[in-house]
Each structure stands twice: as structure tokens, then as C-alpha cells.
Chains A and B, each alone.
Chain A
Amino acid sequence: MLADAIRSETYRFTRNRMAVFWSILFVPVLFLAIGTAVQFFTKARMAEMAEALPPEMTAEGGPMALSGTLDLGQSLLAQAGDFANPIVMLFVLIGAAIIYAGDYRWETWRLTSARNTRINLVAGKVALVFGVVLVALATWLVFGLIGELIKAAIFERPLAFSFADERPGQFAGLIAVTVTRVMQFTMVGLLAAVMSRSLLAALFVPMVVAIGQFFLMQALPLLAWSAGDLQAHLLIPGLSHDSLKTLVQGGPDAAAAPDGLAWKAITGLTVWTIVPLVAALAWFSRQDLSKE
């Protein structure tokens, strides 16, 4: 049963304290520490900063606002939109790679594989990674809000929380887009883990692929492609993620988006999630598990 596979994967992962720490807790703590340090530095140099930066940045409501009301609703949206950043993805991948490749590394397939179908064994891992991504997201959001509270305290700014009108929809949309992007990134790791039986491959293949895609994205003008071209989305899921985020966030950038950007981006992200998953399932269901 799938439930058994999920329960046993969860049981094992939660007892791997290092994996839980690095994949879920480390990045939010790191960002909070760095962010707080920056706030203190800014506070100390506030006068010089206010002179050096263009006034629209430091004005109330601007990205580097040093005074005025701090809107936690706005902060929450920004934090959700930033979830699928390279650092978060890299560290979540550590946990995902351990989940996907652990049984090869520890030679434990022989203990579990006769107890469930091959499809359920992999599906249990994917479900757990999805759970890890959601917990990592929740941690990321909570630590982000803590950072904002610290900022408000340092600069003695009043707090507000506005989350009305289009904001809940935007929040849900941003979570859907960023969580899908992180899952998609780990799926490349799943395929690498199954095909190579190696934890290192599960870590490095997605990184190498993502770096390749990053350079490809920079090279789009050279290829005379734009964000509106379907082939660009079929090659670069990161572009799809960025495009969908822009559309969800609304504003002038969304209005200027090319026609059909949404479905092209959804196609790109879906293909890059589903194809590695299906390939991994197909490969695993006929795999010889004795040479772990």
C-alpha cells in the first residue's frame, strides 16, 4: 500500500537529523541571520545609506524602506515568491537525494522491496519529498516573517497586515508555482538516482542540468528566442517558473507578457516534472535490485 511506503519513508527520514536540518532548517536560519546582520548594519549607517541610495528606494513602500508602516502581508507574498531560489532548491535537493538514493547507498532495497509494489515504493518517496518541500516552505515563510519582525523592531516601524482582495489568490498562486518548481528540480534527481543508483548523481545531475539551463536562459537573445517561445519553456523550466511568477504577481510586467505565456510556462514546468518521474518509474519497475 502507498500509505505504508509513505509512512516508512517518513519514519526513516525523520530519524536522519542531519538530513532534516540541512534540507529544511538551514537555509531559513541562514537567511534570517544574514538579513538581521544587514538590518543592523543599515541602521548603523542609516544616514549615509539614505544619501547614497535613490530616494524612491528608501521611501515608504519602497524596497529599501527605512521608515513607515511595515506590511507583513506584503512581506509574506514576497517571501512566498522567493521560495524557489537556487539556495533553497540546492538544500532541499540534499534531503530529496537522500530520500531517492538512500536505499541504493545503504543497500536496503532488499529489506523493503518485497513488501510493496515497485510503483508504490517510488511513489512513497515522491510523496515524502513533496511533504519535505511543504515543510521547508512553511519554515521559509515563518523565518521570513520573523526577519520582518526583527526589522520592524530595529527601525521602530509600526506593523500592519493587509491580506485582502487579490492577495490570497496571489499567495496561493505563488506557492503553487514555487513548490512545483522545487519538485520539478528534485524529479531530475529522482531519475538520476534510479538510473545511476548513486546519491552523488542524485545531487549533481540536477545541479548541472540547472546550471546548463541558466546559461541557456542568458543565451536566449543569441538564439533569437523570447520568453514567449514554447521551445524555450520546453528546455528551461526555470524560465517557466519566472514567467508564471510574473503573471501571478500582476502589475505592468504581467500586462506586457506575450500571448499564451501562461499555458506555455505551465507546459514547460509540467513536462519537466512528469517526464523524469515517469521515466524513473519505468526504469525502476524493471530494475535489478541486487547490485545496490
Chain B
Amino acid sequence: MTFVIETRGLTKTYGSVRALDGLSLSIPRGGVYGVLGPNGAGKSTLFRILLGLIRPTAGEAVVMGGAVGDVAASRRMGSMIETPRFPPFMTARQVLGWLSAAHGLKADAARVSGWLERVGLAEAADRKVRGFSVGMLQRLGVAAALITEPELVILDEPTSGMDPPGIQEMRALIRSLAERDGITVILASHQLLEVQRVCDRVAILNRGRLVREGAVSELTSSGERLRLSVTPISKTLEVLAALSYASGSLDGDAVVATLSRPETPALLRALVEAGVDIDEARWVGADLEAVFMTETGSVQMPESIHAG
């Protein structure tokens, strides 16, 4: 497997704050890779180091096969770090023309228009950036990251500040970048559902450390649980509490049981014997939130459920 990004022991301290703490990460080529973590986890710090904007306190990073600061290697990467900003007197179209020039590309009106179209800025193409909303700045930031036709694109919270339809469009765009254009996308987000829906693999960061890494399907299947629609609920919880191989908890008007799959028939038998009516029993995958909570012991993932 080839890696677009490899870091070893990457550490960045700001005074007493360890923004990154010995982070070792290998991000494979292809697909969408999520860097997930709560605010302050160190996602933007990681990206700033990869872009050469700041130097790590310790450790090393390799981007597209070159050390950070190797211009030939980093020119194969596009990026958007946090809310992008642009010279206010330029139009969206001019911003892309300017960045093309900075990259040594000839002004290509069709390429510029094509990207403005894909990020949904075709109508605002000739308006000055000065009047852009946060969502429009994000869209232009994504176009700016892609105008140089990179093999790898790093997007830091690309949907923050966007309205729900905009978020949907951005997610579809990100998937199409990976699937249609063959661009490796690295996406930072603090929104679990966003990462779960868009990413193929994910690294979960907390306080500058890597707490879990793997394919989204792997991480969510390992925490699957049995969801039971039953009456009476209290009886069901009693039965579950008495069993050695299972445990249960209440989730809305259903009971969620944690056990290994082979034990399913035994559990159902025990419930029936106790006089419980089972309307439905269904295995559900864990979402990343459950994974995150078990890994970090934290429940603090703002906006994870409702904003997703």
C-alpha cells in the first residue's frame, strides 16, 4: 500500500499545551480519509504541519513521498485550512486565476469555470469575495484547493458554517472527488455522522493523540448491538441483568442488548421463557460515536448527532 501522508512521533507544543502528542499516522492513497476529533484535538495543527505553515516540536512527516517543505512534493497537494480567506477585492474567478498563476498554470477559463460550477459558485463567480458568506468562502476554499489538480486534497472542516443543503452538496462533492476524479481526500471533522457517511477510513484524535484508526466499516461493526422492541421493557431489563453473557440498556422505547452474535438464540429463548413479547430483534452497527466514547471515555462530542 502506498501512503500519501506518513507521520512519526509528530509533536507540537504551544507553551504547556500539547496540540499534537507523538502522532504516528499512515494515510493510504485513494478514498476519503477522516481525521475525527473534538475541537482542540489537534486536527488543524496536524494539517498546518503537513502544509509547512508551522514546524513540529518533534517527530517527522512525509507528504507525497517528500519531507515537509519539499516544494515539488507539496505542490501535488491542495488544501483548505479552517475558514479560508481571500483578498477581498478579488472576485471568485480572479482568486482561482491568481492561484493558478501561483502554481505556474496557464490561465484556463474553462478549468476555472468548471470548478466554480462544481462547488456551486457559478452564479457568484464574478462577485467580489468581500461580500461572501462563510458557506461561500468554504466553497471557494474547496475550489481553490482543487484548481491546481492535486492528487491529494486536505479539507479542514469543509462544511462548518454551511446550511443543510450546502452540507449535503459538499458531502456529495467530496465523494465524487474520490470516486470520479481519483483524488485522495483527507477530511477533518468534529462531526461523527459526517465522517461516518463520507469517509472510508478514519483516525480518531483526542488531545493530540491517536486513539483509534481503521476502516469505518470495521470500527462500526466491532461495536454492533441487538436492538429489541419488546413488552414489557422492565421485565426485559431484569432478564438481561441476570444473564452473564449479555447486558442491556434502554434507548428510547427499545432495549439495546450487548452480546456476541452466537448467543442471540439463547437470549431470545430466555426472554420468551420469562414471558416477554418480542416485536422485533435487529442487529445494528455501532456508530462512530459509540466507538469514540469507548475509546476516550468522553461524551463530549458537540453537534455529533443533531447537526449531522
Binding site for B on A (CB under 8 A): 1, 3-5, 7-8, 10-12, 15-18, 102, 106-117, 288-290
Nearest-Cβ distance from residue B76 to partner chain A, whole angstroms = 10
Set A4, A106, A114, A117: member contacting B86, Cβ < 8 A: A106
27 contacts between A and B (CB under 8 A): A5-B102, A8-B101, A8-B102, A12-B87, A106-B87, A108-B86, A110-B48, A110-B53, A110-B79, A110-B81, A111-B84, A111-B86, A111-B99, A112-B102, A114-B53, A114-B71, A114-B77, A115-B74, A115-B102, A115-B103, A116-B102, A288-B53, A288-B54, A289-B53, A289-B54, A290-B48, A290-B54
Nearest-Cβ distance from residue A196 to partner chain B, whole angstroms = 18
Known contacts A8-B102, A106-B86, A108-B86; decide if A117 and B71 are in contact (CB<8 Å): yes
Query: What 8 A-B pairs have minimum CB-CB distances, sorted nearest first?
Result: A8-B102, A8-B101, A4-B104, A107-B85, A114-B74, A7-B101, A289-B53, A290-B53
Known contacts A108-B85, A114-B77; decide if A12 and B53 are in contact (CB<8 Å): no
Assembled-state Cα–Cα distance A288/B97 (Å): 26
From A102, A110, A116, A288, name the one whose CB has the most chain B CB atoms within 10 angstroms.
A110
Binding site for A on B (CB under 8 A): 48, 51-55, 71, 74-75, 77, 79, 81, 84-90, 94, 97-99, 101-104, 144, 148
Residues of A within 8 A of B89 (CB): 15-18
Contact A109 B53 (CB under 8 A): yes
Residue of A nearest to B95 (CB): A111
Residue of A nearest to B79 (CB): A114
Nearest-Cβ distance from residue B145 to partner chain A, whole angstroms = 9
Residues of A within 8 A of B104 (CB): 1, 3-4, 7
Assembled-state Cα–Cα distance A117/B89 (Å): 26
Nearest-Cβ distance from residue A107 to partner chain B, whole angstroms = 4
Contact A112 B53 (CB under 8 A): no
Residues of B within 8 A of A3 (CB): 104
Set A15, A109, A114, A117: member contacting B94, Cβ < 8 A: A15
Assembled-state Cα–Cα distance A12/B53 (Å): 21
Assembled-state Cα–Cα distance A7/B51 (Å): 22
Contact A112 B87 (CB under 8 A): no
Set A15, A110, A115, A289: member contacting B71, Cβ < 8 A: A115
Assembled-state Cα–Cα distance A289/B68 (Å): 14
Residues of A within 8 A of B94 (CB): 11, 15
Assembled-state Cα–Cα distance A12/B129 (Å): 13
Residues of A within 8 A of B81 (CB): 110, 290
Residues of B within 8 A of A107 (CB): 85
Q: List 10 additional contacts besides A110-B79, A111-B86; criterion CB under 8 Å.
A: A4-B102, A5-B102, A10-B101, A15-B90, A18-B89, A109-B53, A113-B53, A115-B71, A115-B102, A288-B54
Assembled-state Cα–Cα distance A49/B74 (Å): 69
Residues of A within 8 A of B98 (CB): 8, 11-12, 15
Assembled-state Cα–Cα distance A269/B89 (Å): 35
Residues of B within 8 A of A113 (CB): 51-53
Residues of A within 8 A of B71 (CB): 114-117
Residue of B nearest to A120 (CB): B71
Assembled-state Cα–Cα distance A289/B69 (Å): 13
